[in-house]
Amino acid sequence: MGRFHESLGSLQEVRESGRTKDLAWRRSQLRGLLRLLTEKEDDIFGVLHDDLGKHRAESYRDEAQAPLVSFPATALVVPEPLGVVLIFSCWNLPLGLALEPLSGALAAGNAVVVKPSELAPYTAAFLAANIPRYLDPRAVKVVLGGPEVGEQLMELRWDKVLFTGSARVGRTILTKAAKHLTPVVLELGSKCPCIVDQLYSKRDRQIAVNRMAGAKWSVCAGQACAAIDYILVEEKFAPILIGLLKSTVKRFTTTPECMARILNAKHFQRLSNFLVDDKVAASVVHGGSVNPKTLTIEPTILLNPPLHSDIMTEEIFGPLLPIITVKKIEDSIKFVNSMPKPLAIYAFTKNEKLKHQIIDETSSGSVTFNDAIVQYAVEGLPFGGVGESGFGQYHGKYTFELFSHKKAVFKRSFLIEFMFRYPPWDDTKTEM
Ligand code: NAD
């Protein structure tokens, strides 16, 4: 175990150094593979003979795959429906997170069970009442219930499961799916960073802040998987940014209806707990008041809360916005890379070099420049996480692909027949 742990560690170090990403490195490795096959050909035939008793000619045919013997032919990919698929949706976008995957699953020709979140009971009941009226009730079903119903469903054999929710439940889903070798797509949450470069015109700064504030506080009060979780900004620009965020959020939330409430008492408590830590409370530079009666939390900005505090180690999923300062904006890349891979990275900048650096040197489900959350609605882009933010991507044609099996179809004709592909073997049959 220790030995493997060390090897994995050294592989991770090499990868982090950027060595394996380099195009020249990739080419040289493929050339090396080719050289291995040509320079060691005799040894390869030898070991295959020793292991399996294969003749040179058979090894050549099986392992080197000469396409000539299959000429003439056509190859095509035929998408086929997977079968019966299960979709778990989440409560924060309770309609969209059920209907978007459902549309692709149906387009791909599957029968579907949708299990909406019990935490948005009105939307769940709406879906259960209306889906059978509008769609074929024999092929599309809505199952209502909470975790226990989810667990019962996961005892069954499905052809694919798409789960949107927390990493904690995602792990349970994955474990249960293993029993039936069911492929799973996990759409999870994360801490999405927003890198804010100094923008030099007043207009650009205000537009950037409108978009940040809109994405953070006007989409379900920050209870969105792709919400900005925290901001990274240069020390010297932080006071200007905070000033603009404060004035903008004040303008955006003049009436209580301008911001959604926190889902329930449990989530309200979870968010309030972030602020209980003395050092976190001391870092509040705007807002901070909470109202358990109305389940509302004021848009709250924090400056440099401790990095080891819960607010900086757990996904926030609410209207609290920590701002972390860095010396140089490029340092934010190191910061992002020190955290688990997020669902989205946002950056407000006009600096093309920084944009390239962010694309090339970080990993995330998506990268959006000069806006936030809007990438979710771009049908041409796949949506999904990487690493701890999940795996599998959907939206638009990607949803169709996600719920289809790409069947490889190969068609031969009877026109030409090469007899050298068959035994009895002799050495001339390796000279194709
Ligand atoms: P959750 O994980 O508790 O629940 C999600 C779904 O799983 C619900 O339908 C629920 O009934 C079901 N469920 C719960 N326990 C289960 C169990 N033991 N077995 C089977 N099913 C079970 O949801 P949550 O924690 O309230 O959701 C918030 C999280 O979801 C956040 O992390 C957020 O980022 C993430 N999220 C991700 C996306 C995305 O598209 N990536 C979208 C929305 C929310």
Work out the number of other CB atoms within 10 angstroms of the CB of residue 407: 10
| Whether 187 is catalytic | yes
Tens of pLDDT, residue by residue over 137-182, are 999 999 999 999 999 999 999 999 999 999 999 999 999 999 999 9
Structure tokens belonging to residue 104: 């692709």
Tell whether the model's pLDDT for residue 431 goes beyond 70. Answer: no
| pLDDT tens sequence across 321-356 | 999 999 999 999 999 999 999 999 999 999 999 999
pLDDT one-digit tens code per residue, 363-384? 999 999 999 999 999 989 999 9
Report the separation in Å between the CA atom of 187 and the middle of ligand 1, taken as the mean of its atom positions. Answer: 9
State residue 254 phi and psi, 5-degree precision: -75, -25
Q: If 0-12 CB within 10 Å is exposed, 13-18 middle and 19+ buried, where does residue 352 land?
A: exposed
What per-residue confidence (pLDDT) applies to 58?
A: 85
The fraction of the chain above a pLDDT of 90, given in percent, is 84
The whole-number pLDDT of residue 66 equals 54
Q: How confident is the model at residue 430 (pLDDT cuts 50, 70, 90)?
A: low
Would you say 323 and 301 are in contact if contact means Cβ atoms under 8 Å apart?
yes
Does ligand 1 lie within 6 Å of residue 159's CB atom? no
pLDDT averaged over the chain?
A: 94
Helix H or strand E segment including 89: none
Reply yes or no on whether 225 is catalytic.
Answer: yes
Residue found by looking up tokens 């950027």 in the block: 18
Angle between helices 41-52 and 56-64 (to 10 degrees): 100
Question: Long-range CB contacts (< 8 A, 24+ apart) of 65-70?
Answer: 66/432, 68/418, 68/432, 69/418, 69/420, 69/421, 69/432, 70/410, 70/412
Q: Are 154 and 131 in contact (CB under 8 A)?
A: no
Q: State pLDDT tens for residues 43-100.
A: 999 999 999 998 988 888 777 655 666 778 899 999 999 999 999 999 999 999 999 9
Out of 100, 187, 298, 315, the active site residue is 187
Whole-Å CA distances, 264 to 166, 202, 225, 270, 271: 16, 39, 17, 10, 11
* 123 within ligand 1 shell (Cβ under 6 A): no
Check whether 413 has a pLDDT greater than 70.
Answer: yes
- Predicted interface score ipTM higher than 0.90: yes
CA–CA dist 57, 52 (Å, integer): 13
